[in-house]
Copies of this chain bind each other. A is one copy, B any other.
């Protein structure tokens, strides 16, 4: 049992998901179980909220709000893509932690965010400030290393599969032939999301879409793509293509970028892979193509979220608090599955430095020889992640989502200079 006593701080970072608030709810709920945690604070907009001393008292929120976080998309605390770089920024973080006696810090995010958490922890250690830092995994991209999968992934692919299955009903109904229907989904460095759409195929229904899946793990060439489409259209009345936004050519360059901009981590801002494929189909094959692009709606689709995913996200939040109270630090919570035939998810821990900046790609042996479909190994991996439906409360015909009341913690420091 920990002898460290003080306040805890929870932050959310990076792109929101359908279940990052479930992790927040899990962390808050567990924090209230431990007397060594005196106050339960949240920082608004990730590390930016620490720098700005924008802290709120999460224990003051109503219980019904915390319960509703379990089905609320977005990120209730707000997130940021701000990267701590300047030594003065790191110093400021420690100043704010000291000023508010923050001794437990939980940060939900992807690999960049875990890197940030690791750096904060390392500075605290250097300065002899007793602090326990635990990361909570979060990314629809499912590309964090060491964890079996990431909270947020199951829900995004459940929504995509639902939609692919519905689009299939629509396409099958139309009398027209040779329609190419393209679904563009997210996924910057890895094709996990596009691959997940393969679960929409019913077992023993080989004609079900998606017919072709393009992943960044398999170098893309227009020639192969056009052959693939023509091969499918010999067999089917329409061809449904799922493509991840981060498609790469054989030289490792993105085949389509919507603009030359990069975000503050230096990542190219992508988009347009669907329109790029559409252009190929229309100009080279003279066929009609349509593109559906769900944008951020796919990662926010809480109304179609996976219960397994939401529950695991909640447990990941709980596990982070428990680990810190048990004396762990500099770790990220992992979701692990047992070896049993039936899926069971347990939590584990791995050093933050192992997670920071690593990228997990889909094993090549899970992709069929044709490069455009997934095999049973992938299905066995992904199917448990979409099980169960989150019951969202509806009022007046629409889902009701929670907002925090944001009870501000009084500032005690001067404003930070950026």
Contacts and interface: CB of A to CB of B under 8 A. Distances in A.
Interface of A: 12, 15-16, 45-46, 48, 72-82, 158, 161-163, 165-176, 181, 199-200, 259, 261, 271, 282, 288, 290-297, 299-304, 306, 383, 386-389, 394, 396-399, 401
A79 B299 CA distance: 32
A398 B162 contact: yes
Q: Is the interface of A mostly helix, strand, loop or mixed?
A: mixed
Contact of A172 (B74, B81, B394): B74
Nearest to A49: B175
A293 B296 CA distance: 11
Contacts of A176: 81
The number of times this chain is found in the oligomer is: 2
Given A76-B173, A165-B398, A291-B293, 20 more contacts: A16-B169, A16-B174, A45-B175, A46-B175, A74-B168, A79-B174, A81-B174, A158-B398, A163-B301, A165-B401, A167-B296, A169-B401, A199-B397, A200-B398, A261-B288, A290-B295, A290-B296, A292-B295, A294-B294, A389-B394
14 contacts: A73-B169, A74-B169, A74-B171, A75-B173, A77-B173, A162-B399, A166-B300, A166-B302, A167-B296, A170-B296, A259-B282, A261-B288, A290-B295, A389-B394
A80 B174 CA distance: 6
Contacts of A386: 397-398
Which 5 residue pairs across A and B have the least CB separation, nearest first?
A74-B169, A292-B295, A75-B173, A386-B397, A166-B300
B303 A304 contact: yes
A401 to B, nearest CB: 6
A397 B158 contact: yes
Contacts of A12: 173
A302 B162 CA distance: 9
A389 B402 CA distance: 20
A45 B394 CA distance: 36
Contacts of A158: 397-398
B294 A297 contact: yes
Given A158-B397, A295-B291, A399-B165, A175 B79 contact: yes
Contacts of A396: 383, 387
A81 B170 contact: no
Contacts of A73: 166, 169-170
A386 B301 CA distance: 18
Nearest to A259: B282
A163 B82 CA distance: 27
Q: Select the residue from A72, A81, A200, A399 with max chain B CB neighbours within 10 A.
A: A399
Contacts of A79: 173-175
Nearest to A306: B397
Q: Select the residue from A45, A288, A304, A386 with max chain B CB neighbours within 10 A.
A: A304
A307 to B, nearest CB: 9
